[in-house]
Amino acid sequence: MNINQVQIVTDSSSDIKKLDTVGFSIAPLKITCGNTDYIDDENLDVENMVNTLAENNQTSSTACPSPADWQLAFNNAEYVFCISITSQLSGSYNSASIAAKNYEEEFPQRKVFVIDSLSTGPEMVLIAEKIEEYVISGLSFEEVCENIKVYMSKTRLIFMLESMKNLANNGRVKHIVAKAVGLLGIRIVGKASDEGTLEILDKHRGEKRALSAIARDMKNMGYKNGKLKIGHCLNEEAAFALKENIEKLFGHIEADIYPLGGLTSYYAEKGGLILGFEIE
Ligand code: X90
């Protein structure tokens, strides 16, 4: 594959703004509150959205990209690698699969590989960056497809949440699970399960305890010194504190710390962290 013929495409839950070398585009998800639609693209003021929603008691919801949105993002490329948020919690993967089928029927020379990340946000970043690496190193389309599956068996996602209100109200977790977090000071730490659902690991009184627990959870899950991405929802302080805890256990680590985008901020809510990492 010539690099110019390749497009890496994700839905906006990856929070990727750009890739360094390979063509990249997003299919945006949408957050709706009352009469307001927030399109999760580069023009969205995430902080304003999060604060507006937090002050507002109207019901809100989200919607995944349509097949047409995905196909537009394919950008007429010969080779498309497409990564969606977990199919267990969103219709995005389904839309992407329909788009891929239409695209390949319309243009029989072109190829699309659709990946269900079984995860979201920072774990999707790891997958996209690895595909980019494979493309640059000159692997064929089929080799990239094979290799990325193996790579994905060695990536994980952990989250810390202050509230699961939006997850529960949209039926993405059971109300009974969400109730435990609503209490003042309680932080829930969980992970993306192998099946692509939210799995609660533990509950903590206070952020400090939760942040030390995350470092230990990472160790239990097989982390050594692999790549680490930490996305935060208006909580950069916690992301840096977490990095320090992780470094106490594992030594110096290069970590990317960045603000979450629209969709992930909506569900992680103010104070939430989502991290993606490579295990051994
Ligand atoms: O299609 C749609 O409307 C989007 C629905 C997305 C629902 C879940 C988003 C979760 C985002 C929460 C912590 C990370 C959980 C990872 C689980 C696999 C952030």
Distance 198 CA to ligand 1 centre (A): 8
Distance 264 CA to ligand 1 centre (A): 7
Test site for ligand 1: of 85, 119, 194, 274, most ligand atoms within 8 A of the Cβ: 85
Identify the residue whose tokens are 């390979």.
22
Residue nearest to atom 5 of ligand 1 (CA): 90
Specify the amino acid at residue 215.
Answer: A
How far apart CA 103 and CA 83 sit, in angstroms, is 16
Burial of residue 156 (CB within 10 Å: 0-12, 13-18, 19+) is buried
Which pLDDT value is given to residue 238?
A: 98
Pocket of ligand 1 (CB under 6 A): 29, 62-64, 85-86, 89-92, 119-120, 157, 159, 172, 192, 196, 198, 264, 267-268, 274
Distance 182 CA to ligand 1 centre (A): 18
- Report the predicted TM-score, pTM, of the whole model to 2 decimal places: 0.97
Test site for ligand 1: of 29, 90, 277, most ligand atoms within 8 A of the Cβ: 90
Distance 10 CA to ligand 1 centre (A): 14
Q: Which ligand 1 atom is at minimum distance from the Cα of 63?
A: 3
Which pLDDT value is given to residue 177?
A: 77
Digits of tens for pLDDT over the chain (280 positions)?
Answer: 999 999 999 999 999 999 999 999 999 999 999 999 999 999 999 999 999 998 888 889 999 999 999 999 999 999 999 999 999 999 999 999 999 999 999 999 999 999 999 999 999 999 999 999 999 999 999 999 999 999 999 999 999 999 999 999 999 988 877 777 777 789 999 999 999 999 999 999 999 999 999 999 999 999 999 999 999 999 999 999 999 999 999 999 999 999 999 999 999 999 999 999 999 9
Give 10-27 pLDDT, tens digit per residue. 999 999 999 999 999 999
Test site for ligand 1: of 267, 270, 273, 274, most ligand atoms within 8 A of the Cβ: 267
Which pLDDT value is given to residue 136?
A: 97
Q: In this structure, are residues 191 and 217 in contact, taking their beta carbons and an 8 Å threshold?
A: yes
Which pLDDT value is given to residue 180?
A: 73
Residue nearest to atom 16 of ligand 1 (CA): 192
Distance 106 CA to ligand 1 centre (A): 32
How far apart CA 141 and CA 111 sit, in angstroms, is 8
Q: What is the 3-state secondary structure (H, E, C) of 86-114?
A: CCCCCCHHHHHHHHHHHHHHHCCCCEEEE
